[in-house]
Structure 1
Amino acid sequence: MWVRVLGSAAGGGSPQWNCGCEVCVNVRSGAAPPRTQSSIVVSPDRQRWFLFNASPDVLTQFASFPPLQPRSARESPVEAVFLTDAELDHTMGLLLLREAESIRLHATPAVHKTLCDGSGLLTLLERYCQVEWTPVVAGAVQSLTEGLTCSAFEVETSKRDRFGVGAGPGRVVGYRLHDANTGGTLVYLPGVQQLTPQIREQIESCTCLLIDGTCFRDDELVRLGLAAKTSRQMGHTPVEENLDLLGRRSGRTVFVHLNNTNPILLEGTPERLAVEQNRLEVAVDGLEMEV
């Protein structure tokens, strides 16, 4: 399967429009590449594509990648959208796709309920186009194309539900995709609070892992005076706590969903060197992989 990282940053992108932290200053000066908000596409043949999370930057991301551009008057190579959660940085892009005749949306019942009864995003979208919702059930294997399958797995979180309507199982999931033709397995996990034994089982043997790299340290935002919550309180496991564990994996591991404050965005920092010394990678927009 082919995988392209459309957006590698967390909510707000990098640089974030209202942030003057050291990393954002460096990105604005050209010392590091800018990054759009988190999403990927997956394809079995570079003709049919599946979008995982629809970020607010989705139109820019589509425009920068010719295989996602229309091949006729009204058409899109993107066959369906899969959501890992109901966060705005993963769902606002759906509204920007409203010119479609219909959108095939895969999301858990909890995420779907939040988007309908909480944020109201899907209720608004359905006034413009048809939304064909397929419920995502953790553990159920779905065939996307011949030879390419996808299954979701539960990601436990204690993060407060902003809307309070989609509480319970399914608020956050990861996805595991398997290509029967190559034997390759991709795990997409842009949001995870803790690498529990259940999560470790999902990521241990996969060929390629795209994993939450939001903050390097748990108190990163607190230390900078930019927030009162730690990384884990916001639903994200700190990178530094998992370097050894992830470094022992045999497959390729790439950090995605990178917050604009994370020092691993800058080459040569001690934090970036620690990542590289463990044979781990930091995603950039446009990164492509064959799994």
Structure 2
Amino acid sequence: MKLLVLGSAAGGGFPQWNCHCDNCRGVRAGAPGLRARTQSSVAVGGPHDWVLVNASPDVLTQLQRAPALNPGRALRDSGIAGVVLVDGQVDHTTGLYMLREGQRPLPLWCTDPVFEDLTQGNPILGVLAHFCGVGRHRIPLDGSSFEVAGVPGLKITALALQSKAAPYSPHREQPVPGDNVGLLFENTASGGRLFYAPGLGAIDAPVWELMNSADVVMVDGTFWTDDEMIRLGLSKKTARDIGHLAQSGEGGMIEQLGRLKPGTRRLLIHINNTNPILDEGSPQRRELDAAGIEVCHDGIEIEF
């Protein structure tokens, strides 16, 4: 069983189209130690059939770069057996539009709050009804697992996270369980477990238990500091205000990942273009290296 990192950046990608921060200017100029990234998405399964986890605005580019997801078994064919959404954010759902030419209703797993947002606040699913259509499946939040037909040997368990709903959601400022979930992927043949949570605002006891049960943990790497966007004059909100736990500082992601059991592989994904860890020569990146924490880039493959 494999996880393919199709995209590793936060919303806007890296470089972001209208951003002129040091990171974005550097990657455009071809500076060493900086590599471009598309918006956050992964695929889990293999060798020929996969679960697409989040459909980013960059999904067409990502699929072109991932031959395993294009097996070519028929004139019109895809290795995508189904799509699972961790939330209803624009950077995780806009790519659904790009999958509209499917030959059957698109199998889609999401929670009830996300389904509500994608049929009301941002009615993507209603638009898709005029094309391939959607076969929606409910993600359970009671601890029970589910499987995606066509990807045998993969068991998925979802856990509600403390984070934020999409800006267009009626409960953006009053979160409800299911606005954002973390996913535990389990290889039923080997017993390997991988925990995935690209949006994570806090680590409570249930989240910690699931993280510490995994062999691989891939979590929110959006910001280095809680006030990153404020200091740059790009926002008046902290990382926590918009549902992300920063890496540095007391109780930050570095500290949290350091508590995991020895031997756990630790990775950061969904990295904002302003985050200094994108520069492989930065002191922040060296701090992560010393802590045994990897920074995802597009194209990483992880077996579990």
The two structures have a TM-score, normalised by structure 2, of 0.92
CA distance in 1, matches of 2:213, 2:176: 28
CA contact (8 A) 2:8 2:297 kept: yes
1:66 equivalent to 2:74? Answer no
Q: Give CA deviations for 1:10-57 in whole Å, capped at 9, x if unaligned.
A: 0000000100001111111222110000000001x4111110000000
Cross-structure match for 1:176: 184
1:252 equivalent to 2:265? Answer yes
Deviation at 1:180, TM superposition (A): 2.0
1:143 alignment partner, one of 144, 147, 165: 147
CA distance in 2, matches of 1:242, 1:165: 26
Cross-structure match for 1:121: 124
Cross-structure match for 2:283: 270
Cross-structure match for 2:253: 242
CA contact (8 A) 1:159 1:233 kept: no
Cross-structure match for 2:199: 191
AA in 2 matched with 1:120: P
CA distance in 2, matches of 1:159, 1:235: 8
2:98 alignment partner, one of 91, 96, 101: 96
CA distance in 2, matches of 1:248, 1:131: 41
Could you list the runs of 4 or more consecutive aligned residues of structure 1 that deviate by over 4 angstroms after TM superposition? 158-161
Q: Give CA deviations for 1:138-194 in whole Å, capped at 9, x if unaligned.
A: 112113444321110010235675230685221100110111211110111000111
CA distance in 2, matches of 1:272, 1:195: 22
CA distance in 1, matches of 2:71, 2:126: 26
Deviation at 1:247, TM superposition (A): 2.5
Paired residue secondary structure (1:156): coil
Deviation at 1:97, TM superposition (A): 0.4
The within-5 A match list for 1:1-291 is 1-31=1-31, 32-43=34-45, 45-71=46-72, 72-101=74-103, 102-138=105-141, 139-144=143-148, 145-157=151-163, 161-164=167-170, 168-240=176-248, 241-249=252-260, 250=262, 251-291=264-304
AA in 1 matched with 2:201: Q
CA distance in 1, matches of 2:282, 2:166: 33
The two structures have a TM-score, normalised by structure 1, of 0.96
Deviation at 1:245, TM superposition (A): 2.4
CA contact (8 A) 1:3 1:40 kept: yes
CA distance in 2, matches of 1:70, 1:131: 22
CA contact (8 A) 1:55 1:89 kept: yes
Structure 2: runs of 5 or more not aligned:
none
Q: Give CA deviations for 1:189-231 in whole Å, capped at 9, x if unaligned.
A: 0001111222111101211111000000000011011111111
Q: Which moved more, 1:238-247 or 1:98-107?
A: 238-247
Structure 1: runs of 5 or more not aligned:
none
Q: Give CA deviations for 1:94-138 in whole Å, capped at 9, x if unaligned.
A: 001000122100000110110001111111111111200000011
CA distance in 2, matches of 1:53, 1:239: 23
Deviation at 1:70, TM superposition (A): 4.6
Paired residue secondary structure (2:24): helix
Paired residue secondary structure (1:118): coil
CA contact (8 A) 1:147 1:181 kept: yes
Paired residue secondary structure (2:120): helix
Identity %: 40
Q: Which moved more, 1:85-94 or 1:69-78?
A: 69-78
CA distance in 2, matches of 1:157, 1:242: 14
CA contact (8 A) 2:182 2:197 kept: yes
Structure 1 residues 158 and 124: CA distance shift in structure 2, 3 A: closer
